[in-house]
Amino acid sequence: MHELGITKNIVAIVTEHAQGKKVNRVLLEIGQLSAIMPESVRFCFDVVSQGTVLASAKLEILETPGVGHCCECGAEFTLEQYVFRCNCGSSKIDVVAGEELKIKEIEVEEICV
């Protein structure tokens, strides 16, 4: 399960950017063609974040669909998987979206002095 390693890296990156402040929410964008299972990331996040500034943070995941662009006819269409062909019959397809793994937002608790 490579999601464990990925989630450890996400927690490390967010921890660094939080600069010691408690993290309330993390929004991830995960593309449907990325081969990353959102439910596995959720499970791993709960385990990996224990004992960190993310311990009680809410994890939100935005799943982005795969989108392909046909190099022959110019059509754009939804990709469900990596085995694809355009309606025109061409297999010359550029993946435009769906491979993402991004930390989109981090919400930290403000400390009032």
CATH classification of the domain holding 19:
3.30.2320.50
Q: What is the pLDDT of residues 7-47, one digit of tens each?
A: 999 999 999 999 999 999 999 999 999 999 999 999 999 99
Q: Is 73 annotated as a binding residue?
A: yes
- Residue 70 labelled as part of a binding site: yes
Q: What pLDDT is stored for residue 81 in this prediction?
A: 77
**Alpha-carbon torsion 64, 22, 13, 9, what sign?**
negative
pTM value is: 0.84
Q: Is 71 annotated as a binding residue?
A: no
H or E stretch at 38: helix 38-48
- Whether residue 36 is contained in a domain is answered as yes
Q: How far apart are CA 46 and CA 109, in angstroms?
A: 19
Does residue 50 fall inside a structural domain? yes
Distances (CA, A) of 56 to 3, 47, 79, 99: 20, 11, 35, 28
What digits encode the pLDDT tens for the residues 52-95? 999 999 999 999 999 999 999 999 999 887 767 888 989 899 99
Domain annotation covers residue 77: no
